[in-house]
Structure 1
Amino acid sequence: MIITGDDSEYIASVKARFRDQFLMTDLGPLRYFLGIEVSSTSDGFYISQEKYIQDLLARAALGDERTVETPMELNVKLQPTDGDHLPEPTRYCHLVGSLVYLAVTRPGISYPVHILSQFVSAPTTVHYSHLLRVLRYLRGTITYRLFFPRSSSLQLQCYSDATWVSDPSDRRSLSAYCVFLGGSLIAWKTKKQTAISCSSVDVELHAMALLLLR
């Protein structure tokens, strides 16, 4: 359990109430929680999953030390029929599942992970090669962190975008958004739209609706 707030006296009283009712150990300031590392400075908080990435790369057992600058090539449109089906898809599914959780602190991989997760039922050699590219990108950016400044304002800023007919298999479009509270990125998502849009304007409106309904 994480107990947080800006009133230290009230936090202390909450902990005391918990200790009266339950067998509880106070682990002190937050450092590590469910694979997420938290560090505090006078300027704000940093969250990352560096150790989680290290463990993921160890499980993936990449045969080289190469890194790439982007998690996915530009304008790639993957299809279910690309390449040969993997004889054992368990490894692919396991790695993609790990990347889904890693996207909690790495918004930059949200899009490629969304694409790759569509093929977990029948992954191919081509899908797997793009999965390895995401892992090589993470290896080169393993120290990247999200920063939440203490002095951030409470002004909410939202951005949305969409790609029209981006999926060649079903002609559906992708919506994406990100939300900032002051200077802090607090939410982001990439999602395939449920209907086929007839125009790019329609696609953008669906993307805005996804953001507003969030």
Structure 2
Amino acid sequence: MIITGDDSEYIAFVKARLRDQFLMTDLGPLRYFLGIEVSSTPDGFYISQEKYIQDLLARVALGDERTVETPMELHVKLQPTDSDPLPDPTRYRHLVGSLVYLDVTRPGISYHVHILSQFVSAPTTVHYSHLLRVLRYLHGTITRRLFFPCSSSLQLQCYSDATWAIDPSDRRSLSSYCVFLGGSLIAWKTKKQTAVSRSSVKAELHAMALLTAEVT
């Protein structure tokens, strides 16, 4: 259980009442929870998954120290028929699932993980090579973290975008958005649109509608 708030006396009261009812240990300030690392400073706190990435890379055993500057090359459009199917897709599915959880603190890979997750049912060698590229990118940016400042405005700032007809198999577009509360990034998502947009304007409007529903 994690207890948060800015009233130290009430937090102490809640802990005392819980101890009366349950066998529990106070572990102090939050530092590590479900693979997420929390580091507090006077200016705010950082969250990251550096150890989670290290464990993931150790399981993959890339075999060298090469890194890349971006998770995926520009203008890549993957298709289900790219190259030969993987003999055993289990490893691909496991890695994609791990990256989905990593999206909790690494919004920069959200789009790329969304693309790769579309092929978990029948991945090919090309899809797997792009998956390894994401891992090489993480290897080179393992120390990146999200920062949440202590002093920040409560003004919402929201951004949305769309890629028109990005999927060559069904011509559907992708919506993406991110939401800031002051200087803190609090929500983000990449999602394929449910209908085919007949223009880039309509694709952008669908993305804006998705964002508006999230903010509401």
TM-score bracket for the superposition, by shorter chain length = over 0.9
Measure the CA separation in 2 of the matches of 1:9 and 1:85: 60
Asked if residue 81 in structure 1 is aligned to residue 81 in structure 2, the reply is yes
- 1:58-69 matches, within 5 Å, as 58-69=58-69
Asked if residue 26 in structure 1 is aligned to residue 23 in structure 2, the reply is no
Measure the CA separation in 2 of the matches of 1:116 and 1:91: 13
Gaps of 5+ in 1: none
Measure the CA separation in 2 of the matches of 1:7 and 1:180: 25
Aligned length: 214
Asked if residue 143 in structure 1 is aligned to residue 173 in structure 2, the reply is no
Return the offset for 1:204.
Answer: 0.8
Deviates more, 1:52-61 or 1:14-23: 14-23
Match of residue 102 from structure 1: 102
Q: Percent identity?
A: 89
Return the offset for 1:169.
Answer: 0.7
Asked if residue 206 in structure 1 is aligned to residue 206 in structure 2, the reply is yes
Gaps of 5+ in 2: none
TM-score where L is the length of structure 2: 0.98
Residue identity opposite 1:122 in structure 2? A
Measure the CA separation in 2 of the matches of 1:201 and 1:18: 54
Measure the CA separation in 1 of the matches of 2:82 and 2:156: 41
TM-score where L is the length of structure 1: 0.99
Return the offset for 1:14.
Answer: 1.0
Return the offset for 1:158.
Answer: 0.7
Q: Deviations over 1:120-166 (max 9, x none)?
A: 00000000000000000000000000000001111111110001000
Q: How well do the aligned residues superpose, as a CA RMSD in angstroms?
A: 0.6
Asked if residue 183 in structure 1 is aligned to residue 183 in structure 2, the reply is yes
Q: Deviations over 1:157-192 (max 9, x none)?
A: 111000100000100000000000000001100000
Residue identity opposite 2:174 in structure 1? L
Q: Deviations over 1:71-129 (max 9, x none)?
A: 01111100000011000000000000000000000000000000000000000000000
SS at match of 2:153: coil
Measure the CA separation in 2 of the matches of 1:174 and 1:11: 43
SS at match of 1:119: coil
Asked if residue 168 in structure 1 is aligned to residue 161 in structure 2, the reply is no
